[in-house]
Structure formats: C-alpha cells, structure tokens
Chains A and B, each alone.
Chain A
Amino acid sequence: MEDLANQYAHIKGWGVDADPRNEPTYPMKNYTGDDHKRLNWERPPLQPQTVEILHSNERPNLTAVFGTSSPPSGLSGTIRRYAFRFSESEYGHWLPLLLADRINVVEGIVDDLKHGHLPNLFAEKGWNAAWKYNRKGLIQTVVVSAVITTAVVAFLMPRKKAHLRG
C-alpha cells in the first residue's frame, strides 16, 4: 500500500477513501429495521392539494409534498389520467404518457397563439448558438428538413388521375 501511495503521489488525495470494507454491499445502509413497519413512519405534514395531482397506483396516497407544475389539462391531460390507471410496470402506463407529451407540444403552440404569442422556433431551438458555432451544420439541417418536408407534401398532395384510354 505504501509503495502504491508513493507511485501515485502525483494524484492529490489518492487512496484517502480506500476502505477494505468497500465491496458490493458498501456503503452499508443505515439499516434501522423500519422496513418491516412498511409505510408506517411518522409522516411529515401534508401539503394541501390545490391542483390536480395524478399518483401512481403503486402507492395508496399522495406523498407529503409534491410539485404543482403544469397540472394535467386538455387532451394530453385525459391521456395522462388514463395512463395512471396502470402500474409503473406496464407499457399501458408509459406509452400513453409519451403520446400525451407529444400532444402537449401541439397544445403548447395553440396556447401560445391563444395568448397572442407566436413561438420563435429559431430561438427556442437554440439556433442562434448553432448559427454562431455550427453554421454549416445548421444550414445542412435546414436544407435537409426543407427537402424532406417538400417531398412529403408533394407525396400527399392530391394528384390528377391519368385518363385511361379504352
């Protein structure tokens, strides 16, 4: 150990936290035996619920504190409520939440417009920084996106049917 300490003397603090007990069960949990009392600890005061809070069906109640950011609303909120019928173990929980997240993005744009705010997508995507540090990459992204969008729109546009000659 002393030889090693000399070998690594150039590294500040080398080995100061080395501990022979440091094997997979380390750091040992400060085991209190409370696990067998299950959820029956003395709970902190409970935060009053002022907005809709969804809670996992793997627990019987809300936690003593919770965040109140962005309560569920609109179509995405309906999907989120549906998702919370399923446990955290189920795709039925997580996949609807991902779908709700995507729908929520559209709701966010509509909400912006309703409030007279036209989202500045260029700024929100941080393209000011891209213009400064990665101009070529940004131009490539914009061109490729424009080409793909044009192709998709052209594909979806109604086409005149060719007249068949009998």
Chain B
Amino acid sequence: MLAMNYRGPFRVRADQKPYPQILHPEDAIVRVTRSCVCGSDLHLYHGLVPDTRVGMTFGHEFIGVVEEIGPGVQNLKVGDNVIVPFNVACGRCAFCKQGLFGNCHESNPQATAVGGIYGYSHTAGGFDGGQAEFVRVPYADVGPTVIPDWMDHDDAVLLTDVVPTGYQAAEMGGIKTGDTVVVFGAGPVGILAAKCAWLFGAGRVIVIDHLEYRLDFVRKYAQCEAYNFRSMEDPVLFIKKTTDWFGADVCIDAVGGDAAGSALQTITGRKMMLQAGSATALHWAINSVKKGGIVSVVGVYGPTDNLVPMGNVLNKGITIRANQASVKRLLPRLIDHVQKGHLDPKAIITHRVPLEEVADAYHIFSAKLDNCIKPVLIPPSARK
C-alpha cells in the first residue's frame, strides 16, 4: 500500500509499505479516505520531537472505511465510515474513565506523560499513522465514531483533531460571558479556538499572528479581531492597552514549539534545540492575561524544558490549563455544532493533495506557501 514515509527532518516521501495487520483482538483496519497534515505534524517534520524514527508513517487526523475487524470488536462493522480520534484510548484505565481520553495509560509504552497518538513518533506510542491507504486502529470499539449520513466528509476529517483541540482550548479557558479572549496563533487550531470562544459567550475575541493571509482569513471566518505582531512593538503591551490596561481574561496558546516572534526563543528553541521548542506564544500568553486569569495551552511542545516566565505565573495568580484534546468526549457535542451550523470546519481546507505528493504538501504547509491553511491528503483509492 502507499504510505507517507519519514526520512529525516524536512524529508518525507510516499512509498510502498506492507498492508497493516490485526495485532490485537480489538483492532480494526481502516481504509483511509482523507487524512490531514496537522500543525503538530510539523514539529515532527522539523525534527523537534525525540524518538521520531526513520521509516515511520505520520498522520493522526484521518477518516476512512472499516475494512477488517478483530474478533473482539463489537460496535463497528466492515463498511462503516468512521471518524478516528487522534488519541489511541483503551476506555478502561482510570484516566479514560474520567474522560481523559488523551491521557490513556494503556496505549503508549514509551512514555507515561502522553497517551498513544497515531503517527506521532515513538514518544507517542510508535503507531503508524493515517497518511496512508490503510491504517491499523487499536481499541476500535472505543475511539472510532460512525460518520452521520448527513455529514460532509471534509467536515468529518477535521473532527479528528483540529476542531476538538480548538474547542477544548476555549473550554479550558473557562470563558465567562463577555470575556475578552486572546488567541495566539492563526493556524488551523487557533482559527477554531477563536471560533469556539464565541460558543462559550466571549464578548471579544482577538487573534495574534504574523501571517497576513491567515489574519485575513480568521477575521472573516471567526468574525473576530486579528492583529499582526510584526506591526506592533510589543504584543503584550498591545493587549494591555486594548483591554484598558487590565489584561485579557483568557489567553490561548495555539502555537506551541514552532512559534516565531522572539529571536532568543527561536534560536534557543528551534535552531539550537536547547529548549523543547520556542515558547514565545506561551510567554506572551502568560504576560498578557489579567491577574487571576486563565492561560489555556493546546500548542505542542517537546518533552524537555521551556523558558517561560514562571515568576509571573506565581505573582499574577494565573491558572494554566493544558491537555491533548479528549476527542472522544467532545465528539457528540461537536457533531451537534456542525449539524446546527455553529461550526463550518471544512471552510479551513485550502489544499487537496494526492497522497503521492505528500512531500509537497508538507513543504507547502511548513513554509506557509500558496496561502496554505489546511492541507488534506487524498489516497489513490479514495479518488476512484
């Protein structure tokens, strides 16, 4: 079968790889019909995540058709069209039972800090991902959710990660009616976080980024304010001034370790890798939020350390909330939002790329070429 094949930082290709096998009674094999390149795939692509092995297939945002099921699978049948959450979750450990499906303790032997994630290095379990024609899906009765008949599959594929992550970013912000919410990052997750902040009753939503085309997009898509930090002397000061010198009620870091905006952070975090990515967005979020405010973090960082102003977290009494999205918990609500027209995920898709051209898709997304916001990969079998 055709699959993305990681060859090293900034190098990927489409290759023939063996068809996946049922390795556990609760496995399913899914024929992928769409998969996305996620902003967090870029952290792998840029070589920032330890234990990213050559030969692995990335891809944690995918949907498809159930092709095969193991003997222990009861809720799915061959032929079902399914949304596959990016978290591999057992549904039985103490963490899954609490709704923390992103923190499953039975899906990732290599690290205890994170649950299994499809195609996201061996630090997240060593599972081959969905940027392929077929993929092995463990715990098939737990994560996969049948796509409703009425749902556009372009919407469905975005419910695997980007929409739940954006929604959970807003949810973790503890937004009160009328709150001012600042989202750092106008990538796909930041765009959705801004959109979802309104669902929680935000009174004002501000997005900060440096790419004009993304700022233009989010202004229209999320009906919010959007500003370029390159055009301001100091984004923290800007937020203070625009909130009557008070600070934002809620700040969301929707960037993670690939953030631009600070030479020190960029050099130490992204170039020299002396810290686990550049923490510029988190730094700004902590310093822009009001005293007693909430900083919600969904941007992905590596597992070592980052330079953040911890003294200000203490002195301002800030609450920091962070997690991988618990997709399984959120899916019913999000499907409802799509059906009611509150959310229109597919509008963020800008590029549809044949799986064979996966290297171009990564480069376009990574280098922010051709006004790219969200690329979707289409395997050959789904184009027939």
Contacts and interface: CB of A to CB of B under 8 A. Distances in A.
Interface string B347-368: 0000000000101111110110
B251 interface: no
B364 A126 contact: yes
A51 B169 CA distance: 37
B53 A11 contact: no
A43 interface: yes
Contacts of A59: 105, 109, 112
A109 B306 CA distance: 32
Contacts of A56: 109-112
Interface string A53-96: 11110110111111111101000100010011000100100100
B223 A10 contact: yes
Contact of A67 (B93, B128, B177, B340): B128
Interface string B255-274: 00000000000000000010
Main secondary structure of the interface of B (DSSP, over half): loop
A105 interface: yes
Given A69-B56, A101-B47, A133 B23 contact: no
B201 interface: yes
B303 interface: yes
Given A13-B199, A30-B97, A55 B176 contact: no
B25 interface: yes
A35 B50 CA distance: 29
A32 B97 contact: yes
A125 B10 contact: yes
A162 to B, nearest CB: 37
B26 interface: yes
Given A16-B199, A101-B51, A29 B100 contact: yes
B25 to A, nearest CB: 5
Given A35-B94, A67-B126, A69-B126, A12 B108 contact: no
A102 B374 CA distance: 28
A97 B124 CA distance: 14
B39 interface: no
A72 to B, nearest CB: 8
A67 B127 contact: yes
Contacts of A129: 359-361, 363-364, 369
Most buried by A among B27, B123, B174: B174
Given A12-B342, A30-B98, A129-B369, A44 B139 contact: yes
B88 interface: yes
B53 A88 contact: no
A105 B7 contact: yes
A4 interface: yes
A84 B200 CA distance: 43
Contact of B52 (A8, A58, A101): A101
Contacts of A166: none
A50 B126 CA distance: 14
B86 interface: no
A45 interface: yes
A18 B105 contact: no
Nearest to B99: A30
B8 interface: yes
Nearest to B305: A91
B85 interface: no
Given A48-B23, A53-B126, A65 B340 contact: no
A104 B174 contact: no
Given A45-B26, A94-B50, A55 B177 contact: no
A8 B106 CA distance: 44
B174 A69 contact: no
A84 B304 CA distance: 15
9 contacts: A13-B340, A17-B333, A43-B92, A43-B106, A88-B111, A88-B113, A102-B47, A126-B360, A129-B361
Interface of A: 1, 4, 8, 10-20, 22-24, 26-27, 29-32, 34-35, 37-39, 41-45, 47-48, 50, 53-56, 58-59, 61-70, 72, 76, 80, 83-84, 88, 91, 94, 97-98, 100-102, 104-105, 107-109, 119-121, 123-130, 133-134, 137
Given A101-B47, A124-B359, 7 more contacts: A26-B174, A34-B94, A39-B94, A41-B97, A54-B110, A69-B56, A70-B122
Interface of B: 7-13, 23-27, 47, 50-57, 72, 88, 90, 92-94, 97-100, 105-113, 116, 122-123, 125-128, 138-139, 171, 174-178, 198-201, 203, 223, 273, 294, 302-304, 319, 321, 329, 333, 337, 340-343, 357, 359-364, 366-367, 369-370
